[in-house]
A and B are shown apart, each in its own frame.
Chain A
């Protein structure tokens, strides 16, 4: 008997705004000029805040820091597709997503300055905490999606991961649970081409990361991750579908980390300056700026004022983060359990005596 084909799959690719700043009008999502300007301003804000973090780190005012430069579109575009009641589960390179979701910038700074209060998310913001161990956040997002569905809430969960995370077991288990339980959760993979020094070619034999979703029973799409409009459109479609019972989705945002993995890394050891330069030409902010200029929404004077306003906000945030009252010693004990047992009380008293 001849072999039969049991199934065929496609892995779509979406780009709306190309490297030259030209938009494919047929694919353009419904966004007002104000929305597009908001996205642009948030990306600029993210980049400047990110560069401030690098400077603060060099001056010894911040600890190890992972830069987001180059990935602003994937972050801002996806987070902008969420509604306030939706949940966002970040990994650790997500500066613009936090800003879009309304996290006060001083909170972001505080965390990387080594203060737990940076992760004390304000009550009205449905963001979970930054996750450092790669891919371990994925099953949490799945569980949250289950809880939302169980409580009959019409909200979705957006969880971020990197390309390296797709190699880990938690990824498989979370994707499998999400598909099996048909949960309202969207996986947004920032494929920035490197897991520290290891390039994607050493991470997987898979042609795309998007196709991995197919095996779990839901759709995967690759988008130009430096195209904020494509990322927004793909995420919006995915969260809308998730909220109305369509189940999970996987989005691979094809992007590039322009900076080092963290301030403890030197990326020149494992990639060429030429490669980085090629990706600089695809900068997500520059291409959106070209688009806005074409639409007469951008001028040099506007940019100058925008940056001045942002720098003012950043200065205030740095001031707030550095000026915060130190946490008392009790704070490192108080939140271990709902109540301290005799053992923790003994240890706390001993520290206080010394």
Chain B
């Protein structure tokens, strides 16, 4: 078994899925010769040729729009948006088309595509390169949204996304691309979409996160005085409400952590769901530790914006002392 980083696990998943199914193709800016700006598609061009690994023109709408036509036409496109901020023009095609093709045609057509988007900040990147747009996608009926936080899940979730009959947005926490290594089996496995995982068991507080924030929650849990349970959602849509509810009923306290801006962030949805499903078990209001309702600052001041283990530890203290 190989020890891989998260980005290597993505690469492995793509390689194996392309080997497994000739219908799978990859398209995006710089995904071919360059192997992607993060090297997620490295060597695929050599292995599978330019018909299956397409260096597209610089055209986000064209990439996702043509991927929709490809998916309807019976092939399986895995499109890459180069960065979170540049994926925004793709929302038109996703919202107006990809997400509703099955419904509009009453099942005659489907749109099984995957859109991979490097997401999140904390890597001192340029403007428009540190965004967390998951809420935009979660708000759209017809899309599925997944976010791995470990190399193992990165491979298993990408395989599941590629084999899924619906359009899947696959968000890649770029801060974790090379931050963690773990053993990832080279054989065929999937991580089911819609299933969260408890990364750490605890009895006093439930910390809920996805992507890069899972690591921050685990660090906070390590140092906290209270016993923290950490849930890695892995899949935002469909959401594993059972795992969340079971945990919150046990701990009576919930903290939701995400990088995206607070207002209308996915944490707002989670807070509402937790009080709908577990109101009588709650010992304190649900807390949100999130990005701020501001434009993400440039690298010199970005540390003010992003949640981290310290901010989460404080939130744990506050919720225990409520």
A interface residues, Cβ below 8 angstroms from B: 87, 116-117, 119-121, 123, 128-129, 133, 136, 138-148, 150-151, 169-170, 173-174, 176-177, 180, 331, 334-338, 341-343
Contacts and interface: CB of A to CB of B under 8 A. Distances in A.
A336 B141 CA distance: 7
Contacts of B238: 337, 341-343
B105 A120 contact: yes
Nearest to B194: A341
A140 B57 contact: no
Contacts of A140: 65-66, 68-69, 72, 97
Contacts of A336: 102-103, 141-142
Nearest to A170: B61
Contacts, number: 135
Interface stretch (B106-114, B125-133, B248-256): B106-114
Given A133-B92, A146-B69, 6 more contacts: A128-B72, A144-B69, A147-B75, A150-B25, A151-B75, A336-B142
A136 B93 contact: yes
Contact of B106 (A148, A169, A331): A331
A144 B66 CA distance: 7
Given A120-B108, A139-B61, A143-B65, A335 B70 contact: no
A175 to B, nearest CB: 9
Contacts of A117: 106
11 contacts: A119-B106, A136-B65, A143-B69, A150-B70, A174-B66, A177-B59, A177-B62, A177-B66, A335-B103, A337-B166, A341-B194
A145 to B, nearest CB: 7
Contacts of B275: none
Given A142-B66, A169-B61, A176-B57, A120 B107 contact: yes
Contacts of B174: none
B80 to A, nearest CB: 15
A160 B101 CA distance: 18
Contact of A338 (B65, B68, B74, B165): B165
Contact of B241 (A120, A170, A342): A342
Contacts of B101: 129
* Size category, B interface: 35 or more
Nearest to B144: A337
B57 A338 contact: no
Nearest to A133: B96
A120 B56 CA distance: 32
Contacts of A145: 69
A167 B67 CA distance: 22
Given A138-B65, A139-B61, A180-B57, A144 B73 contact: yes
Nearest to A337: B166
Given A147-B75, A176-B62, A136 B70 contact: no
Contacts of B89: 169
Nearest to A175: B62
Contacts of B56: 177
B239 to A, nearest CB: 7
A181 to B, nearest CB: 8
A139 B93 contact: yes
Contacts of B67: 143
Contacts of A173: 57, 59, 61-62, 65
B139 interface: no
Contacts of B93: 136, 139
A144 B166 CA distance: 17
A178 to B, nearest CB: 9
Interface string B138-158: 000110100000000000000
B82 to A, nearest CB: 15
